Amino acid sequence: MRLLLNDVAPGVAEPGDTLGPDDLDRLYAYPDATGRPWVRANMVATLDGAAAGNDGRTGSINTDADLVVYTLLRDLADVVLVGAGTARTEGYRRIPARSARYRERAAAEGRPTCPVTAVVSGAAQVPPLLAADEPGHGDALLVTCAGAGTEALDRARRVLGPDRVIVVGGDTVDLPAAVAALHARGLSRILCEGGPRLLRDVAAADALDELCLTVVPLLAAGVQQRVTAGAGVDRRLVPRLVVEQDGTLLHRWTRP
């Protein structure tokens, strides 16, 4: 990978340098999240803005460079926040243990050795593939709201366990309250993997601190939605990091 812009970790590398794993680790490090949580989103898009391939899945537009950073961001996170629809479409399962260096680091810092999956569903629906415990994999939480109704909430509690269902908000999920609830559980490094509607809602709630955006060298056309979808929002971000490999551009954008 080749560095094009570095405004996040001066001295780690200069534009034009070839990056190794240790460089990427420092360039993508979370800020201190002990006092307040940090919400980072990670999304992929084609050159013409499609958030998925024409099969409706992000896997069909992923590249090797994107996979490297995707894996790193999960290794660095405490919890992966994902919408229930995306979890079903993409076949989400509970997340396995971090790679060795990050597992040891997390254990030393008192953080979970396997990232937790937190599924957001206003209807309190648990995606089937996330319902069952898997040895050696992270926990799964449901983030929902009172508007889901008593029957749906009780069903979710039976599936996951009562302490794994977080109810925040009345008719809709209160995302700032959800972020605070995750932080209260010691899950302060939050990685939102979408989909587009959840990312739009996180941004609209002013809960987004950072966007990691991969742009792949592909025109897709078709009817796939963008990395955000829904009512308009106006959230300005500034570029802090750009990395390139084989035409794939990997960005970090943060609050001004």
Question: Can you name the residues that pair with 213 across neighbouring β-strands?
Answer: 43, 251
Q: What is the pLDDT of residue 225?
A: 87
DSSP string, 2-38: EEEEESSSTTT--TTPBP-HHHHHHHTPPPP-SSS-E
**Domain extent for 138:** 37-49+59-254
Q: What is the pLDDT of residue 56?
A: 83
CB 206 within 8 A of CB 175: no
Q: Which amino acid, one-letter code, is at 44?
A: V
For every one of its 256 residues, what pLDDT tens digit does the chain have, with 9 covering 90 and above? 999 999 999 999 999 999 999 999 999 999 988 889 999 999 999 999 999 888 888 888 999 999 999 999 999 999 999 999 999 999 999 999 998 999 999 999 989 999 999 999 999 999 999 998 999 999 999 999 999 999 999 999 999 999 999 999 999 999 999 999 999 999 999 999 989 999 999 999 999 999 999 999 999 888 888 999 999 999 999 999 999 999 999 999 999 9
In this structure, is residue 42 part of a structural domain? yes
Q: What is the pLDDT of residue 190?
A: 98
Q: What are phi and psi for residue 43, nearest 5 degrees?
A: -135, 160
In this structure, is residue 233 part of a structural domain? yes
In this structure, is residue 11 part of a structural domain? no
The total number of structural domains in the chain stands at 1
In this structure, is residue 203 part of a structural domain? yes
- Within 10 angstroms of residue 133's Cβ, the number of other Cβ atoms is 10
DSSP string, 73-119: HHHH-SEEEEEHHHHHHTT--PPBPPPHHHHHHHHHTT--SSPEEEE
In this structure, is residue 25 part of a structural domain? no
Q: What is the pLDDT of residue 68?
A: 96
In this structure, is residue 193 part of a structural domain? yes
Question: What's the gap between Cα 179 and its chain centre?
Answer: 13
In this structure, is residue 2 part of a structural domain? no
In this structure, is residue 14 part of a structural domain? no
Q: Which CATH number is 232's domain given?
A: 3.40.430.10
